[in-house]
Structure 1
Amino acid sequence: MDLEVTKAITESWFSKLQENLCFDAAIAGTGPSGLIAALRIAEAGYKVSMFESKLAPGGGMWGGAMMFSSVAIQNEAVYLLDELEIPYERYNDHLVTCDSVLATSALIYHAAKRGVLIHNAMSVEDVVFKDDRVSGVVVNWGPVVREGLHVDPLSFRAKVVVDATGHPCMITETAARKNNIILNTPAGKVCGERSLNAAEGEAMTVENTKMIYPGLYVCGMAANGVFGSPRMGPVFGGMLLSGEKVAKLIIEELK
């Protein structure tokens, strides 16, 4: 029985891996913006793989605010909660609240149900850079990267790559630093996240969601980190709408 279990797991996992070495969109980071983007791109019939360095996908939404398992979402994004059957409570004229654990698990479930392949415990440590375009991701095990072990990674090819790594905007920072490229930002480089301003941060999260170099898009908090906009704290409407926007941009390019 023990050998059967081992064979079942390894054969199914490696079969899935072999079928997903090349795809339409690679998304680094599995927070709410990345998950919304992934499920929308998959809905349009494209092949999507996500990479999460930690064991559990979901990003910072799991923890709510200071581990109070509740998050706030503006009216503009409530339609997504309705569509994904995430229950919420009306707080005032422009905000609702919902359970952070339920909301995060629902986003993961709906992305996976639509065919998105989520690689957990895998960290994107670099990009594939070819013909002046970001053309894939370079991946290693999350624990290998965190421990600083000298273990060579593997690469996956993708038509587009999305940096959804949150505050550090790690993919964009690495691509810019290693390849000396000029980004589609006012300064031509990663500007760095500013301190908290919830209203401005929410608006700019959506505004900053765009392609910043051929083949490379940013969404969610990574977009604000790249463009030098404020963080916004435990309000998630802008994150969800950022995922919607980047999906639309990518679907239009893939067409």
Structure 2
Amino acid sequence: MKDTMISTLIVNRYFKKLRSFLELDVAIVGAGPSGLTAAYELAKKGFKVAIFEEKNTPGGGIWGGGMMFNEIVLEKELEDFLNELGITYVIQENHVLVDSVHFASALLYRTTMVGATVFNNISVEDVAMQDGKVCGVVINWGPTMRLGLHVDPITVKASFVIDGTGHPANVASLLAKRGLIEMKMELPMNADEAEQFVVENTGEIFPGLMASGMAACAVHGGPRMGPIFGGMILSGKKIAQIIEEKLR
């Protein structure tokens, strides 16, 4: 039957892909703007990178723009990055405006084209640790986690893990609950301060574990921001540079 043949193709291809990504240079949790940017920057330089996204649709908060007005704002200094990705934009009030669907689609396309792989519908329920260092992620099916089913996970080894889960900082929270790190409370909206705060506080929060984007803001207690994604992109680029230097 053709149906069986199609199912066989899907299953064989998927498990071949999954097997090849059980050992990574970098495991990124969350396919939002900072995670995708970090994946793009690292993968284009030859590092083995996978992103684990618990939702069906990667892209994080990009798609909805501001209150579902699908436009986002970036800093003008990111023009070169947008040009590199082939993204169309306009400049107003010394800021760059981009259609959010176009931006998310282009970022996802370019990231996967340079070799990063996105595993959607996969939740990271824990980290692996050895000799006091985070050395991988413990994954399970996203729907399984949401339903609260007690199904044992599997482990993916990685030299570094990036928490790019946004406001919840899901991976960092796992360590905070165990008293391994201290997390502060995210502050109310202040876009002026938040953009700079996110970039400045992007970095390693525990041996082997990095925080980027709004996860860095949540860990260090900075203000939140709205549909202004320049800080997310700059954070992703910075964390990629930090990890590259460590891996080299």
Query: Structure 1 length as normaliser, TM-score?
Result: 0.95
Report the CA distance between 1:78 and its aligned residue. 2.2
Report the CA distance between 1:176 and its aligned residue. 2.7
Counterpart check, 1:139 vs 2:139: yes
Equivalent residue number for residue 71 of structure 2: 70
Where do residues 88-103 of structure 1 align in structure 2 (5 Å cutoff)? Answer: 88-92=89-93, 94-103=94-103
Find the partner of 2:242 among 227, 235, 249: 249
Other structure's SS at 1:229 match: coil
Name whichever of 169-178 and 214-223 sits farther off. Answer: 169-178
Report the CA distance between 1:13 and its aligned residue. 0.6
Report the CA distance between 1:42 and its aligned residue. 0.7
Counterpart check, 1:200 vs 2:193: yes
Report the CA distance between 1:238 and its aligned residue. 0.6
Equivalent residue number for residue 30 of structure 1: 31
| Equivalent-residue separation in structure 1 for 2:202 and 2:172 (angstroms) | 13
Report the CA distance between 1:44 and its aligned residue. 1.4
| Equivalent-residue separation in structure 2 for 1:193 and 1:140 (angstroms) | 28
Report the CA distance between 1:77 and its aligned residue. 1.8
Equivalent residue number for residue 50 of structure 2: 49
Other structure's SS at 1:230 match: coil
RMSD: 0.8
Percent identity between matched residues is: 47
Other structure's SS at 2:197 match: helix
| Equivalent-residue separation in structure 2 for 1:13 and 1:150 (angstroms) | 23
AA partner of residue 64 (structure 1) = G
Other structure's SS at 1:71 match: strand
Report the CA distance between 1:82 and its aligned residue. 1.2
Name whichever of 83-92 and 50-59 sits farther off. Answer: 83-92
Q: What residue ranges of structure 2 are gaps of 5+ in the alignment?
A: none
Equivalent residue number for residue 3 of structure 1: 4
Instruction: Give the ranges of 4+ consecutive aligned residues of structure 1 lying more than 3 Å apart after TM superposition.
Output: none
| Equivalent-residue separation in structure 2 for 1:160 and 1:175 (angstroms) | 15
Other structure's SS at 1:16 match: helix
AA partner of residue 145 (structure 1) = M
Deviations 1:122-166 (A, max 9, x none): 011110011100000011111111111111111100000000000
AA partner of residue 109 (structure 1) = Y
Other structure's SS at 1:79 match: helix
Counterpart check, 1:231 vs 2:231: no
| Equivalent-residue separation in structure 2 for 1:173 and 1:192 (angstroms) | 12
Q: What residue ranges of structure 1 are gaps of 5+ in the alignment?
A: 184-188
Deviations 1:174-228 (A, max 9, x none): 02323x22x4xxxxx1112111000100001100101111100000010000000
AA partner of residue 33 (structure 1) = S
Other structure's SS at 2:68 match: coil
AA partner of residue 226 (structure 2) = G
| Equivalent-residue separation in structure 2 for 1:211 and 1:128 (angstroms) | 16
Aligned residues: 247
